[in-house]
Amino acid sequence: MALELSITVTEDATCDGLKFYETTGQYNGTTNLVGWDELGLIDAIPATSTILRAELDITIPGGTTPINFDLYPTFPSAVTPITADAAVSYAITETALGGTIPSGVYLFTYNVWNSLVDGTPVTATKSCYVLLTCAANCCIDKLFASVGTDSCTTCNELKLATAIEAQGYLCAAEKMLGCNRPTDAQLMVDKVTFLCNAENCKCT
């Protein structure tokens, strides 16, 4: 039995920010055997009070060096979110990520330590790939909205085909990431981005 960190990331509706949540929760002998042991019931599982450092690393699509965020003392948190509005969160702006938040596959790594000494092994860590789609969905919506009702049948058929193609690529990206294929998922998002740039959607 050991602590297993759990995290969730959401995108702002305006596509210019993210919210990070820890969803590990508190240890419960029936419903959550891998949560934070806030009551000191299990020696092998720490309480949040023993953690002295918490950080989040985000690797953006195409990036190799993660962007680091110091989350302490907001995190770690044993609060189990009931709703996103009520949960403890950490806001990440587009500026902090380099200026924009393009759609794509991002790698999030959440680390916690019970020591401030550099080089100390992490107490617990959680990494996961997350597909951010806000900008891509904005573009796809614009592509569908651009299909007119005028007499230019060829023009409208082309616009509709482009919108459907982009939507298909994004759907493929979601399924590929669900099958643990982040590289392939990013290739699909790149195709959506190419179509959006060609149509000048201006969603990022």
Strands 17-22 and 53-59: unpaired
Please tell me the pTM assigned to this model: 0.92
Q: What are phi and psi of 112, to 5 degrees?
A: -130, 145
- Tell me which long-range contacts 149-152 makes (C-beta under 8 A, separation of at least 24): none
Sheet holding 89-93, edge to edge: 7-11, 17-22, 89-93
Strands 17-22 and 7-11: antiparallel
> Which pLDDT value is given to residue 148?
75
7-132 classified as CATH 2.60.40.10: yes
Mean pLDDT by 10 residues, the chain (204 residues): 93 96 93 95 95 98 96 92 67 96 97 93 97 96 83 75 96 98 98 90 70
> Which pLDDT value is given to residue 22?
93
Alpha-carbon span 79 to 9, nearest angstrom: 16
> Which pLDDT value is given to residue 152?
64
> Which pLDDT value is given to residue 200?
75
Neighbours of 17 (CB within 10 A): 18
> Which pLDDT value is given to residue 157?
86
Which part of the chain is CATH 2.60.40.10? 7-132
Sheet holding 53-59, edge to edge: 67-70, 53-59, 104-113, 124-132
